Amino acid sequence: MVDRLTRAKIDMEEMRRRVESPECGAVASFSGTVREWNDVRQVLSIDYSGYGPMAEKILEAIEVDLGRRFAGIRIAIVHRLGRLSVGEASLAVVVTAPHRREALEACSEAVESIKARAPIWKKEHYVDGSSWIEAGRCLPSSGKPKTP
Amino acid sequence: MTVRVLLFARYAELAGTPELEIDLDPDRTVGELWDRVRERCPGLRPVSETPLAACDQAYSDPTKVITGSKEVAFFPPVSGG
């Protein structure tokens, strides 16, 4: 049983070991990290929260779907939850494939699917307040109880 | 039937709770349940968009009839990655 959601630092080397194989001549990876600036606002940290059981299912479904569509690939996805500082990785995808094209395309598609479908949300904390980020929009936080 | 309703992210903040239970007549839709949730949680009334919804952890349209779902979640646009 693989945990695709974690509160610990993402270990991309472990992910790579999980999907490497002698048949694969290509490794493509993506890591999304916390940016210091969102437009003109300086970001101190981001809280990632998720609908855990559903997010796990969606991430697994994305892996299965890409595995069917790109012959010979192996894919590992991990998304982090909790409070992350600038520079820390929130998402990592590692794909191995016999050849580079499948590896690169599957990696890119995985990232787009995760961002579109996984029930995970980020709340940015700035020097002067906080915002929920929703589909590229910033919405002010009321600062009431934390979500699970 | 009693449905366990889960709220996430901004919706949980606006409602002041991440979870509530609602007694629902049979053959009600996801959209009708959302109306009931907003009656119970005044903080959600300013929400103007149609929320994303999931019945037993699968994305569902507002028109879906809730039959046998134990858990229905409502949440704003996702922003993982």
Q: What is the pLDDT of residues A76-118, one digit of tens each?
A: 999 999 999 999 999 999 999 999 999 999 999 999 999 999 9
Complex prediction ipTM: 0.96
- Mean per-residue pLDDT for A14-22? 97
- Contact across the interface for A121 and B76, Cβ inside 8 Å: yes
Provide the pairing of β-strand B71-75 with B2-7. Answer: parallel
d(CA A4, CA A56): 6
Q: A135 falls in which pLDDT band (50, 70, 90)?
A: confident
Q: Do A51 and B77 touch (CB under 8 A)?
A: no
Q: Does B72 touch chain A (CB under 8 A)?
A: no
pLDDT of residue A142: 74
pLDDT of residue A147: 46
List the beta bridge partners of residue A9: none
- pLDDT at site A11: 98
β-strand pairing of A129-134 with A120-126: antiparallel
Assess whether pLDDT exceeds 80 at residue A27.
Answer: yes
CB-based contact A118 B9, cutoff 8 Å = no
Tell me the mean pLDDT in the region B51-63: 97
Which pLDDT score, from 0 to 100, does residue A121 have? 98
Q: Which residues contact B38 (CB under 8 A, 6 or more apart)?
A: B44, B45, B47
